[in-house]
Amino acid sequence: MVGKKLDSENIGRSNRKLILQLLRKNPATTRRDLAVASGLNPSTVTKIIKDFLSMGLCEEVRAEETGRIGRKAIVLRLNRKAFMSVVIDIGVEETIIGKGFFDGSVSVVSRFRTPRDFDQFMDLLTKKTSLISRNIPKSRFLGYSLSVPGIVDVENSRIVYVPHLGWKDLVLRERLSRRYPVFLDNEANLSLIAEKWNNPDVVSVRDIVFVYVSEGIGCGVMFDGQIYRGRDYSAGEFGHMTVQIDGKKCYCGNFGCWETIASTEAIVNLATELGLELKGTSNNEKYLNCLRSTDASYEPLLREIERSLGVGIVNIVNSLDPEVVVLGGVASILPEVSLRNLLDFVNSRVLYATGQNVKVIRSMLHEKGMASSKMIGAALHIIDRKTVDLV
């Protein structure tokens, strides 16, 4: 009897998770649509929705106009304020803080220059985040979710290594909050989570590599629909694969890493060597302005951006054979002609077995002053980790 009861509870929890997932994916839906999409009995869906309404997870907004005779179907909508979180994007140059909502959206609240001194950073961070968390009802607060530009131990909320900031073996959980959960992940992994959730072109793709271009280069790797982190959480650190034996020294201590030729800092340095002046207050901003410029004098720099990105992508494709490579971060607004040139370069260099038909696309979550893909991914990440507690 106990076994049957446990089976029934597990099935019930699984059904509730399924309906919640469908509500999150569909901004406006009906009980009938949920029953069809889930394959569950309509009476089961009705019971689950009744519970969700009482919990404030969703709300009824209007009657659906179907044109059919009979009772109109009530439209359901996820309550974006049912649960909220504080999301933090730790950048090499700037840290951005926002409020994450239950639908995966993010509202940016504040930002500050990232100090290299970790204690100074934590002092600033705790002051800024407390201004947000204290205005979220305790019963609706999921906790803190952080994007980190380096290697992260996701199980223990520990920063393993951030080369650009010189941070090693740092635990944030107790420094940020002892009462609420604190989740961390690598910025490329979170960007991949956000892309998978929001981009219809990759929703059914199982093997993806997300290349996040910023002051450094990070990659999120997904195999069979799951983020692959590796034994020591360092999987996807393709920014630190050697592409030049006698290349420039990298922040990681090695020489000739991919990011020493293809990161925003590397491209800005190259522009200086070429006598080109890029406008902006940060490496990322200068890189973006180069991509947006119609000035013909920037053409040699654009060709170098294409080639430097292409070299790394060739190695990724030959190593992992993903279904698609997504360009994110500042590379998400790579001009169409540059994307074509990049594809031509990659397909001319990859192994014959790929059919010279590699798919490289730009992230749909562009970096244009709004919440970044990293922050959206952080909001989604904490919801996914806490879903079992919510249903």
C-beta separation of 309 from 342 below 8 A: yes
From CA 81, how far away is CA 100, in angstroms rounded?
9
Strand 84-90 and strand 94-101: the pairing is antiparallel
Contacts of 60 (CB under 8 A, 6+ apart): 53, 74, 75, 76, 77
Q: Using one digit for the tens of pLDDT, what is the confidence trace for 197-238?
A: 999 999 999 999 999 999 999 999 999 999 999 999 999 999
Instruction: Sketch out the chain's domains with CATH numbers.
Output: 2-78 (1.10.10.10), 84-190+371-390 (3.30.420.40), 200-362 (3.30.420.40)
Confidence of residue 356 (pLDDT cuts 50, 70, 90): confident
Please give the pLDDT value at position 2.
47
Q: Using one digit for the tens of pLDDT, what is the confidence trace for 112-134?
A: 999 999 999 999 999 999 999 99
The torsion angles phi and psi of 222, rounded to 5 degrees, stand at -120, 125
- Read off the pLDDT of each residue in 323-340 and give the average, rounded to a whole number: 94
> Does pTM surpass 0.85?
yes
Confidence of residue 173 (pLDDT cuts 50, 70, 90): confident
